[in-house]
Amino acid sequence: MLPFVQKLVELGEQVPDHLKPKVRMCDTLGYGVTYPGAALPRSIPKLIWTLQHEAGVPSDRLEWHGHNDFHRRTSTPVTGWLYGCDAANTTLFSFGERNRQPPAGGRAGRIRRAQGEHSTPRICAC
């Protein structure tokens, strides 16, 4: 995956900012874990660090898309946010996802509590 993302970043340097590629980390089975001591690719903190520092993807081009197969629909995107992922996918009123993404308000509230009262999370509706 890393060589592919590095090539995307390289190609993105040739286009205007609004056309630069975003990297969406899709945990479609819910195997991502929140602790940094886990091995790649399961450790969300290590995955984000690797994409930022090894592939050169800036935070504003990283997006988390997780699922709730193992009841981590809130903890994994908040971990991603805390470790530098700028966006997390969600739904409006829990419609539109097969596995119940959390509502936008709930996710924004959880991220706000994790980072402090003055943070402004960027939420992407699926």
Chunked mean pLDDT (size 10), the chain, 126 residues: 94 94 88 91 94 95 83 81 86 62 63 60 52
Q: What is the DSSP string of the chain?
A: -HHHHHHHHHHHTTS-GGGS--EEEEETT---BS-TTSPTTTBHHHHHHHHHHTS---GGGEEEEE--TTS-TTHHHHHHHHTT--EEEEBBTTBS-TT-PPBHHHHHHHHHHHH-TT---EEEE-
pLDDT tens for residues 75-107? 888 888 889 998 887 776 666 555 556 666 666
CA proximity to 107, closest of 76, 61, 62, 63: 76
Domain ranges of the chain: 20-125
Nearest Cα neighbor of 89 from 71, 115, 75, 107 is: 107
CATH of 20-125, one of 3.20.20.70, 3.10.450.50, 3.20.20.150, 3.40.630.20: 3.20.20.70
Q: Mean of the per-residue pLDDT values for the chain?
A: 81
Q: What is the pLDDT at residue 23?
A: 94
DSSP symbols for 74-104: THHHHHHHHTT--EEEEBBTTBS-TT-PPBH
Tell me what pLDDT residue 73 has. Answer: 73
Residue-level pLDDT at 29? 79
pLDDT of residue 27: 86
pLDDT score for 115: 63
